[in-house]
Amino acid sequence: MAYDYFISTNESNDKVKIPEWISERDNRMESYISAGEVDYRGTFTSNELIQLANHYADIWGDAMNNYHRDLQNKGLAYIKNADTDQFTLSAICWSSGEH
């Protein structure tokens, strides 16, 4: 299955699409059923998310295309500009229609 990844704050329904900073199979992610599909979510601090984003950038380096680089930059900006240190990272199945 293919997933889209998002981060959001607990105070907001806004969510920002990000690259696959973490696998939905990571033990920090919990599964739940949404629109008949298995989706995943986990709670992370800003420091944890920045570390995940930096690791993603290290792995892909110059091979990261413009689309994923744009998602990377928007995700990091969202984290840095948030009024909270707690975020929800979601992995939503493409066919779920939830995004």
Tell me the percentage of the chain whose pLDDT exceeds 90.
Answer: 77
CB count in 10 Å sphere of residue 90: 23
pTM: 0.87
Average pLDDT over residues 58-82: 93
- Mean pLDDT of all residues belonging to the chain: 90
Is position 80 within any domain?
yes
14 occurs within a structural domain: yes
Domain count, the chain: 1
Domain, as residue range, for 39: 3-94
Q: Indicate the residue type of 1.
A: M
At residue 56, the pLDDT reads: 94
Indicate whether 66 belongs to any domain. Answer: yes
State the pLDDT confidence band at 97, using cuts at 50, 70 and 90.
very low
Q: Does a structural domain hold residue 82?
A: yes
Task: Tally Cβ neighbours within 10 Å of residue 34.
Answer: 16
99 lies in a domain? Answer: no
Displacement of CA 47 from its chain's centroid (Å): 14
Give the pLDDT of residue 11.
66
Distance CA 84, CA 79 (A): 8
**Using one digit for the tens of pLDDT, what is the confidence trace for 28-62?**
999 999 888 999 999 999 999 999 999 999 999 88
Q: Is residue 55 part of a domain?
A: yes
Residue 18 lies in a domain: yes
Look at phi and psi of residue 35 and say left if phi exceeds 0, alpha if psi is from -120 to 50, else beta. left
Percent of the chain with pLDDT over 70: 93
